[in-house]
Amino acid sequence: MVLQAALEGYGLRHRATVHNIANVDTPGFQRIDVSFEDQLKRAVDRMPSRGSMFRGVDMDHRRDNPLNRVAYKISLDQSSPVRADGSNVSIDREMAILSQNAAKVRDLTELMIRNYSTIKSAIRGRAG
Amino acid sequence: MVSATGLEAQRIRMDLIANNIANAQTTRTADGGPYRRRSAVFEAVGGTRNKFSGILDSARKQDVLGGGVRVSRIIEQAGNDAFMQVYDPSHPDADDKGIVMKPNIRIVDEMVNLIDASRAYEANVTAMNQTKQIGAKTMEIGRI
Protein backbone atom coordinates (compact mmCIF):
# COMPACT_ATOMS: atom_id res chain seq x y z
CA MET A 1 0.00 0.00 0.00
CA VAL A 2 1.06 3.57 -0.63
CA LEU A 3 1.29 4.44 3.07
CA GLN A 4 3.71 1.60 3.62
CA ALA A 5 5.90 2.65 0.69
CA ALA A 6 5.98 6.24 1.95
CA LEU A 7 6.80 5.10 5.51
CA GLU A 8 9.69 3.06 4.14
CA GLY A 9 11.11 6.18 2.47
CA TYR A 10 10.65 8.44 5.48
CA GLY A 11 12.15 5.76 7.70
CA LEU A 12 15.26 5.67 5.53
CA ARG A 13 15.47 9.45 5.54
CA HIS A 14 15.21 9.45 9.32
CA ARG A 15 18.14 7.07 9.58
CA ALA A 16 20.20 9.09 7.11
CA THR A 17 19.47 12.32 9.03
CA VAL A 18 20.41 10.71 12.35
CA HIS A 19 23.69 9.64 10.74
CA ASN A 20 24.28 13.20 9.50
CA ILE A 21 23.61 14.62 12.96
CA ALA A 22 26.04 12.14 14.54
CA ASN A 23 28.67 13.37 12.08
CA VAL A 24 28.11 17.09 12.54
CA ASP A 25 31.70 17.50 13.79
CA THR A 26 33.40 15.06 11.39
CA PRO A 27 35.78 16.94 9.11
CA GLY A 28 35.27 16.29 5.39
CA PHE A 29 31.97 14.50 5.95
CA GLN A 30 29.42 14.63 3.14
CA ARG A 31 25.80 14.47 4.21
CA ILE A 32 23.62 11.60 3.01
CA ASP A 33 20.41 12.38 1.21
CA VAL A 34 17.39 10.15 0.61
CA SER A 35 15.05 10.93 -2.26
CA PHE A 36 11.99 8.93 -3.23
CA GLU A 37 8.96 11.25 -3.35
CA ASP A 38 9.07 11.81 -7.12
CA GLN A 39 9.39 8.11 -7.78
CA LEU A 40 6.61 7.29 -5.34
CA LYS A 41 4.34 9.81 -7.00
CA ARG A 42 5.07 8.31 -10.42
CA ALA A 43 4.34 4.82 -9.09
CA VAL A 44 1.01 6.02 -7.69
CA ASP A 45 0.19 7.65 -11.03
CA ARG A 46 0.87 4.35 -12.80
CA MET A 47 -1.67 2.55 -10.66
CA PRO A 48 -5.00 1.58 -12.22
CA SER A 49 -8.43 2.89 -11.17
CA ARG A 50 -7.28 6.48 -11.20
CA GLY A 51 -9.49 8.89 -9.36
CA SER A 52 -11.04 6.23 -7.19
CA MET A 53 -10.57 6.47 -3.47
CA PHE A 54 -9.66 2.80 -3.56
CA ARG A 55 -6.80 3.40 -5.94
CA GLY A 56 -4.06 0.87 -5.44
CA VAL A 57 -5.94 -1.20 -2.87
CA ASP A 58 -6.40 -4.02 -5.38
CA MET A 59 -2.70 -3.88 -6.26
CA ASP A 60 -1.32 -4.99 -2.91
CA HIS A 61 -1.10 -8.68 -3.74
CA ARG A 62 0.03 -8.28 -7.34
CA ARG A 63 3.54 -8.79 -8.58
CA ASP A 64 3.29 -5.92 -11.07
CA ASN A 65 2.47 -3.45 -8.31
CA PRO A 66 4.34 -0.26 -9.32
CA LEU A 67 5.10 0.36 -5.65
CA ASN A 68 7.46 -2.62 -5.66
CA ARG A 69 9.65 -0.81 -8.12
CA VAL A 70 10.07 2.42 -6.20
CA ALA A 71 13.83 2.83 -5.75
CA TYR A 72 14.76 4.74 -2.60
CA LYS A 73 17.76 6.74 -3.73
CA ILE A 74 20.43 7.15 -1.08
CA SER A 75 23.15 9.48 -2.24
CA LEU A 76 25.87 11.82 -1.08
CA ASP A 77 24.91 15.47 -1.13
CA GLN A 78 27.39 17.16 -3.47
CA SER A 79 25.63 20.49 -3.80
CA SER A 80 25.27 21.88 -0.28
CA PRO A 81 27.73 24.59 0.77
CA VAL A 82 30.93 23.22 2.31
CA ARG A 83 32.22 24.48 5.67
CA ALA A 84 35.82 25.37 6.39
CA ASP A 85 36.55 21.85 7.67
CA GLY A 86 35.28 20.23 4.46
CA SER A 87 31.98 19.03 5.89
CA ASN A 88 28.68 20.08 4.34
CA VAL A 89 26.41 19.28 7.28
CA SER A 90 24.38 22.14 8.67
CA ILE A 91 23.04 21.20 12.08
CA ASP A 92 20.07 23.58 11.80
CA ARG A 93 19.04 22.08 8.51
CA GLU A 94 19.41 18.50 9.75
CA MET A 95 17.33 19.23 12.85
CA ALA A 96 14.63 20.80 10.68
CA ILE A 97 14.62 17.76 8.37
CA LEU A 98 14.57 15.48 11.42
CA SER A 99 11.48 17.01 13.01
CA GLN A 100 9.63 17.49 9.74
CA ASN A 101 10.35 13.90 8.77
CA ALA A 102 9.38 12.52 12.19
CA ALA A 103 6.07 14.42 12.00
CA LYS A 104 5.39 12.84 8.61
CA VAL A 105 6.17 9.38 9.97
CA ARG A 106 3.82 9.96 12.90
CA ASP A 107 1.00 11.20 10.66
CA LEU A 108 1.38 8.36 8.16
CA THR A 109 1.45 5.81 10.98
CA GLU A 110 -1.69 7.38 12.42
CA LEU A 111 -3.38 7.10 9.00
CA MET A 112 -2.33 3.47 8.80
CA ILE A 113 -3.78 2.77 12.26
CA ARG A 114 -7.08 4.41 11.24
CA ASN A 115 -7.08 2.46 8.01
CA TYR A 116 -6.80 -0.82 9.90
CA SER A 117 -9.34 0.31 12.51
CA THR A 118 -11.82 0.96 9.72
CA ILE A 119 -11.26 -2.52 8.33
CA LYS A 120 -11.68 -3.94 11.82
CA SER A 121 -14.95 -2.07 12.32
CA ALA A 122 -16.21 -3.36 8.99
CA ILE A 123 -15.37 -6.93 9.96
CA ARG A 124 -16.98 -6.68 13.39
CA GLY A 125 -19.99 -4.86 12.03
CA ARG A 126 -19.84 -2.08 14.61
CA ALA A 127 -17.71 0.90 15.41
CA GLY A 128 -14.82 0.69 17.86
CA MET B 1 22.03 2.82 17.34
CA VAL B 2 23.41 5.68 15.33
CA SER B 3 22.61 8.52 17.77
CA ALA B 4 24.40 6.64 20.55
CA THR B 5 27.63 6.71 18.54
CA GLY B 6 27.26 10.48 18.31
CA LEU B 7 26.68 10.76 22.07
CA GLU B 8 29.73 8.61 22.78
CA ALA B 9 32.00 10.55 20.43
CA GLN B 10 30.90 13.93 21.80
CA ARG B 11 31.34 12.70 25.37
CA ILE B 12 34.91 11.59 24.61
CA ARG B 13 35.51 15.04 23.12
CA MET B 14 34.09 16.75 26.22
CA ASP B 15 36.25 14.55 28.47
CA LEU B 16 39.36 15.55 26.54
CA ILE B 17 38.42 19.23 26.75
CA ALA B 18 37.86 18.91 30.51
CA ASN B 19 41.25 17.22 30.78
CA ASN B 20 42.87 20.03 28.77
CA ILE B 21 41.32 22.71 30.99
CA ALA B 22 42.31 20.86 34.16
CA ASN B 23 45.89 20.63 32.93
CA ALA B 24 46.17 24.16 31.54
CA GLN B 25 48.98 24.92 34.01
CA THR B 26 50.57 21.47 34.27
CA THR B 27 54.32 21.77 33.68
CA ARG B 28 55.30 18.26 34.73
CA THR B 29 53.94 14.97 33.35
CA ALA B 30 54.92 11.31 33.52
CA ASP B 31 56.36 11.55 30.00
CA GLY B 32 58.41 14.55 31.02
CA GLY B 33 57.80 18.13 29.88
CA PRO B 34 54.58 20.11 30.08
CA TYR B 35 51.13 18.66 29.42
CA ARG B 36 50.36 18.27 25.72
CA ARG B 37 46.95 19.34 24.44
CA ARG B 38 44.80 16.42 23.30
CA SER B 39 41.95 16.36 20.84
CA ALA B 40 39.74 13.73 19.24
CA VAL B 41 39.57 12.99 15.52
CA PHE B 42 36.11 12.01 14.34
CA GLU B 43 35.44 9.61 11.50
CA ALA B 44 32.17 8.56 9.86
CA VAL B 45 31.30 4.87 10.18
CA GLY B 46 30.15 3.24 6.94
CA GLY B 47 28.03 5.23 4.57
CA THR B 48 28.78 6.23 1.03
CA ARG B 49 32.27 7.68 0.87
CA ASN B 50 32.51 8.44 -2.81
CA LYS B 51 30.56 8.16 -6.01
CA PHE B 52 31.88 4.75 -7.05
CA SER B 53 31.22 2.94 -3.78
CA GLY B 54 27.91 4.80 -3.71
CA ILE B 55 26.83 3.01 -6.86
CA LEU B 56 28.15 -0.28 -5.52
CA ASP B 57 26.43 0.18 -2.22
CA SER B 58 23.10 1.24 -3.62
CA ALA B 59 22.24 -2.45 -3.91
CA ARG B 60 22.73 -2.80 -0.17
CA LYS B 61 20.64 -0.13 1.53
CA GLN B 62 21.94 -1.15 4.94
CA ASP B 63 25.55 -0.16 4.33
CA VAL B 64 24.91 3.05 2.47
CA LEU B 65 23.01 4.69 5.30
CA GLY B 66 26.02 4.60 7.58
CA GLY B 67 26.41 3.73 11.22
CA GLY B 68 27.16 7.11 12.76
CA VAL B 69 30.51 8.33 13.99
CA ARG B 70 33.52 7.11 15.93
CA VAL B 71 36.64 8.60 17.41
CA SER B 72 39.30 7.24 15.07
CA ARG B 73 42.20 8.46 17.20
CA ILE B 74 43.18 10.92 19.87
CA ILE B 75 45.96 13.23 18.81
CA GLU B 76 48.45 14.91 21.08
CA GLN B 77 50.26 18.11 20.34
CA ALA B 78 53.51 17.16 18.60
CA GLY B 79 56.84 18.90 19.04
CA ASN B 80 57.77 21.56 21.56
CA ASP B 81 57.30 24.72 19.48
CA ALA B 82 53.72 25.30 20.55
CA PHE B 83 54.41 25.52 24.28
CA MET B 84 53.98 28.92 25.84
CA GLN B 85 57.13 30.37 27.30
CA VAL B 86 56.64 32.27 30.52
CA TYR B 87 59.39 34.03 32.46
CA ASP B 88 59.18 32.86 36.05
CA PRO B 89 62.59 32.12 37.62
CA SER B 90 61.06 31.04 40.95
CA HIS B 91 59.15 28.20 39.28
CA PRO B 92 60.68 24.77 40.01
CA ASP B 93 60.43 23.79 36.32
CA ALA B 94 62.12 26.94 35.02
CA ASP B 95 65.25 26.44 32.91
CA ASP B 96 68.53 28.25 33.60
CA LYS B 97 67.24 31.38 31.85
CA GLY B 98 64.16 31.45 34.06
CA ILE B 99 61.78 30.38 31.30
CA VAL B 100 58.96 27.95 32.12
CA MET B 101 57.34 25.96 29.30
CA LYS B 102 53.59 25.91 29.79
CA PRO B 103 50.92 23.93 27.87
CA ASN B 104 49.54 25.71 24.82
CA ILE B 105 46.01 25.61 26.17
CA ARG B 106 43.85 28.66 25.69
CA ILE B 107 40.89 28.45 28.04
CA VAL B 108 38.66 30.46 25.69
CA ASP B 109 39.27 28.01 22.85
CA GLU B 110 38.55 25.07 25.10
CA MET B 111 35.32 26.65 26.36
CA VAL B 112 34.14 27.34 22.83
CA ASN B 113 34.84 23.72 21.87
CA LEU B 114 33.09 22.55 25.03
CA ILE B 115 29.93 24.45 24.16
CA ASP B 116 30.11 23.14 20.59
CA ALA B 117 30.46 19.56 21.86
CA SER B 118 27.61 19.95 24.32
CA ARG B 119 25.31 21.40 21.63
CA ALA B 120 26.18 18.50 19.31
CA TYR B 121 25.46 16.13 22.20
CA GLU B 122 22.04 17.71 22.65
CA ALA B 123 21.33 17.38 18.93
CA ASN B 124 22.06 13.67 19.17
CA VAL B 125 19.79 13.36 22.21
CA THR B 126 16.98 15.02 20.25
CA ALA B 127 17.57 12.69 17.30
CA MET B 128 17.50 9.71 19.66
CA ASN B 129 14.21 10.83 21.21
CA GLN B 130 12.66 11.22 17.76
CA THR B 131 13.77 7.69 16.89
CA LYS B 132 12.19 6.42 20.13
CA GLN B 133 8.92 8.25 19.43
CA ILE B 134 8.73 6.91 15.89
CA GLY B 135 9.38 3.41 17.19
CA ALA B 136 6.68 3.73 19.85
CA LYS B 137 4.20 5.11 17.32
CA THR B 138 4.92 2.24 14.94
CA MET B 139 4.19 -0.24 17.71
CA GLU B 140 0.68 1.23 17.96
CA ILE B 141 -0.14 -0.33 14.59
CA GLY B 142 0.03 -3.71 16.28
CA ARG B 143 -2.37 -2.70 19.06
CA ILE B 144 -5.46 -2.27 16.90
pLDDT, residue A1, reads 79
In this structure, what are the phi and psi dihedrals at residue B69, rounded to the nearest 5 degrees?
-135, 155
Choice between A66 and B41, residue whose per-residue pLDDT is larger: B41
Closest Cβ–Cβ partner in B61, B124, B130 for A102: B130
Residues of B in contact with A76 (CB under 8 A): 48, 50-51, 54
pLDDT over 70, % of chain B: 88
pLDDT, residue B49, reads 52
pLDDT, residue B132, reads 95
Contact A45, A88 (CB under 8 A): no
Flag if A14 and B51 touch (Cβ within 8 Å).
no
Chain B, residues 113-142, CB within 8 A of chain A, namely 116-117, 119-120, 123-124, 126-128, 130-131, 133-134, 137-138, 140-141
Contact B45, B67 (CB under 8 A): yes
The DSSP secondary-structure symbol of B83 reads S
pLDDT, residue B62, reads 47
Distance from CA of A40 to the nearest CA of B (A): 17
Q: Which residues contact B129 (CB under 8 A, 6 or more apart)?
A: none
Flag if A17 and B127 touch (Cβ within 8 Å).
yes
pTM of the full structure: 0.84
Closest Cβ–Cβ partner in B3, B10, B61 for A74: B61
State whether residue B90 sits within 8 Å of chain A by CB.
Answer: no
Of B140, B139, B134, give the one whose Cα is nearest residue A101: B134
Q: Which residues contact B60 (CB under 8 A, 6 or more apart)?
A: none
State ipTM.
Answer: 0.82
pLDDT, residue A52, reads 57
Flag if A21 and B44 touch (Cβ within 8 Å).
no
Task: Name which of A25, A89, A110 to mutate to probe chain B: the one with the most chain B Cβ atoms within 10 A of its Cβ.
Answer: A25
Chain A residue closest in CA terms to B43:
A26
Is residue A109 over pLDDT 80?
yes
pLDDT in tens, B70-115: 999 999 988 888 888 989 999 998 889 999 999 999 999 999 999 9
- Residue-range domain boundaries for chain A: 2-127
Flag if B58 and A74 touch (Cβ within 8 Å).
yes
3-state secondary structure of B79: coil
In this structure, what are the phi and psi dihedrals at residue A76, rounded to the nearest 5 degrees?
-80, 135
